[in-house]
Amino acid sequence: MTDSLAVGVAQFAPTADTEANLQAIEELVATASGRGARVIVFPEYSSYFVDPFDESLAANAQELDGPFVQALARIAAAHEVVVVAGLLERAEDGRRVRNTVVAVGPEGLRAHYRKLHLYDAFGQRESDWIEAGDLGEPRTFEFGGLRFGLMTCYDLRFPEVGRLLVDAGADVFLVPAEWVRGPLKEHHWRTLLHARAIENTVFVAAADHPPPLGIGSSLIVDPQGVELAAVGTATDVAVAHLDVGAVARVRRVNPALQLRRLGVVPRS
């Protein structure tokens, strides 16, 4: 039998009640792990979310070793999984916060990533409240024979982020998101997720907020752009078994990464 690793995407709507968010996360982890998932991806802002943003963000931001991450570690240990979720992290200036993704296993924090590209688009101004992450090494972690790379929501519109992750050895992109509804937004979401998978010959697993604010459509795509599993608009999980050898096989047939003539250079 082919070696595989089951990955889940868990779709729910985080609120301004962190304890309620953790309860929802624990229930969805139990569902996903019951279906075999070993890595489970949750949306952006899983620890705390309000719409519109206000001063409560800073008051409810936490440290990377704070109670939210500690609770995720307990949940991960209870189900022997890795949980990937959006954390509202404290920033240095005390007014803005960081939009951070944490990957947490039973032993604690495995990796974290601070969103590079802030959502100053479609009439929104995320940068009024959020501090962008520093340009640095791509954030990845290994588990179950695969290397997972982290990005967040609006980063999906910047293919350079994917290139940096794949150059760091990522086999799977994990994308927590709060993809706001609007004209053509679901089309953009699906197209970009499939494009990042195809152009980088990687798996992509993305988790969104459901309607009415998000679009839902959390999904998992394989290295040839084939959709393996998806959620519609409900609070639910989708699980796909990722063939550990698929990335190498696809790259033998389609060596696009080897044939590239351009690299990625960070801009200040």
- 204, pLDDT greater than 90: yes
- 1, pLDDT greater than 50: no
Percent of the chain past pLDDT 70, that is, above it, reads: 99
pLDDT, one tens digit per residue, over 226-268 is 999 999 999 999 999 999 999 999 999 999 999 999 999 888 7
Query: Smallest Cα–Cα separation from 8: which of 46, 39, 31?
Result: 39
Mean pLDDT throughout 43-54? 97
Mean pLDDT throughout 46-70? 97
Interacting residues of 252 by C-beta distance below 8 A, sequence separation 6+: none
pLDDT, one tens digit per residue, over 82-133 is 999 999 999 988 889 999 999 999 999 999 999 999 999 999 999 999 999 9
Q: For the chain, give the mean pLDDT.
A: 97
pLDDT for 102: 98
pLDDT for 92: 86
- 217, pLDDT greater than 70: yes
Mean pLDDT throughout 56-85? 98
Q: Active-site residues: which are they?
A: 44, 115, 153
Percent of the chain past pLDDT 90, that is, above it, reads: 96
The two structure tokens encoding residue 230: 């998806």
- Please answer whether residues 99 and 47 qualify as being in contact, where contact means their C-beta atoms are separated by less than 8 angstroms: no
Read out DSSP for 186-240?
A: HHHHHHHHHHHHHHHT-EEEEE-PPTTTB----EEE-TTS-EEEE--SSSEEEEE
